[in-house]
């Protein structure tokens, strides 16, 4: 039975490979979201200085009792999208997780924004999410999450994962992806601009913006040539740095 939509990773070789991929140091502080039954948590505790493990399903408490007792593991019960991650002490430097599919994208975006201490993410996600986060401008998969992730991180797909390594077997393929922080990421104005721009993918950028902010049409049309962009450009054609420059030029108000 799948508990709360979870699929547990049961291949020990893959668990070991994920820890190797993460290249943890003894002074690293790891955040794991979706501890499940604890096999990855145990390996992380052996490789890192400290592990913050978050699990929503209290029904897994007996399975997690052994790893929760480890001296360098702090186990928190709750929703990772609601827990105050900024209160974690010591502050996480890495995320290594088999992320629950339903929260993977918002969780990654939240941690980029709220946890500047994070330097690297080594996470297993649905294959489509990995493709979306690493997509370049102009590709079908490219969207708001692509822009917001790539403004803060370099992305790299590490390995595909066969469905057979999960219990129970999911209906989708998985991928291990790595994010390495390169900067602080988008500010509030840029995040708002990106989300507004992609809200109407079939419209031109200026039409999408003017629909959300009446009166901005003329200013948007004027600034596009300054950035080397066509007047009829759509959001999916604009790369992350151009979005950042556009937000600065428009002085976008959230």
pLDDT digits (tens, 9 = 90+) for 70-100: 999 999 999 999 999 999 999 999 999 999 9
Give Cα 64 to chain centroid, integer Å: 25
Average pLDDT over residues 16-28: 97
Query: Is the pLDDT reported for residue 253 higher than 70?
Result: no
Phi, psi of 116 (to 5 degrees): -65, -15
pLDDT for position 93 = 98
Give this prediction's pTM. Answer: 0.92
Percent of the chain with pLDDT strictly greater than 70: 96
Average pLDDT over residues 133-148: 97
| Run of H or E including 247 | helix 240-250
Beta bridge partners of 105: none
| CATH code for the structural domain at 188-250 | 1.10.8.100
pLDDT for position 254 = 41
Average pLDDT over residues 36-47: 96
CATH-assigned architecture of domain 8-181 = 3-Layer(aba) Sandwich (3.40)
Query: DSSP string of 9-51?
Result: E--HHHHHHHHHHHT--TT-EEEEE--TTSHHHHHHHHHSSEE
Average pLDDT over residues 139-161: 97
Instruction: Identify the top-confidence range among 10-19, 120-129, 210-219.
Output: 120-129
pLDDT for position 46 = 98
Beta bridge partners of 31: 52, 95
Closest by CA position to 75, among listed 38, 101, 124? 38
Closest by CA position to 142, among listed 243, 239, 247? 239
Q: Where are the CATH 3.40.50.150 domain residues in the chain? A: 8-181
pLDDT for position 158 = 97
Cα 213 to Cα 195: distance, rounded to the nearest angstrom:
13
pLDDT band at 2 (very low <50, low <70, confident <90, very high): very low
pLDDT for position 5 = 52
Average pLDDT over residues 98-115: 96
Token output for 235: 């959001």
Q: Where are the CATH 1.10.8.100 domain residues in the chain? A: 188-250
pLDDT digits (tens, 9 = 90+) for 182-197: 999 899 999 999 999 9
pLDDT for position 1 = 33
pLDDT for position 130 = 97
pLDDT digits (tens, 9 = 90+) for 54-66: 999 999 999 999 9
pLDDT for position 170 = 81
pLDDT for position 169 = 76
């Amino acid at each position: 039975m799948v508990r709360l939509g979870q699929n547990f990773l049961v291949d020990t070789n893959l668990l070991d490979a994920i820890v190797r991929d993460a290249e943890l140091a003894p002074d690293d502080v790891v955040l794991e979201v979706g501890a499940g039954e604890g096999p990855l948590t145990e390996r992380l505790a052996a490789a890192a200085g400290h592990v913050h493990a978050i699990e929503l399903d209290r029904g897994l408490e007996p399975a997690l009792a052994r790893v929760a007792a480890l001296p360098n593991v702090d186990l928190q019960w709750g929703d990772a999208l609601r827990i105050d991650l900024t209160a974690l002490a010591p502050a996480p430097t890495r995320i290594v997780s088999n992320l629950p599919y339903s929260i993977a994208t918002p969780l990654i975006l939240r941690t980029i924004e709220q946890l500047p201490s994070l330097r690297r993410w080594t996470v297993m996600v649905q294959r489509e999410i990995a493709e979306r986060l690493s997509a370049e401008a102009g590709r079908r998969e490219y969207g708001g999450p692509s822009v917001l992730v790539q403004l803060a991180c370099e992305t790299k797909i590490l390995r595909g994962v066969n469905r057979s390594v999960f219990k129970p077997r999911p209906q989708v393929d998985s991928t291990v992806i790595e994010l390495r922080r390169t900067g602080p990421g988008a500010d509030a104005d840029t995040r708002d601009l990106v989300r507004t721009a992609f809200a109407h993918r079939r419209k031109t950028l200026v039409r999408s913006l003017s629909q959300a902010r009446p009166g901005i049409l003329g200013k948007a049309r004027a600034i596009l040539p300054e950035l080397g962009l066509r007047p009829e450009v759509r959001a999916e054609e604009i790369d992350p740095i151009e979005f950042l420059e556009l937000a600065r030029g428009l002085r976008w108000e959230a």
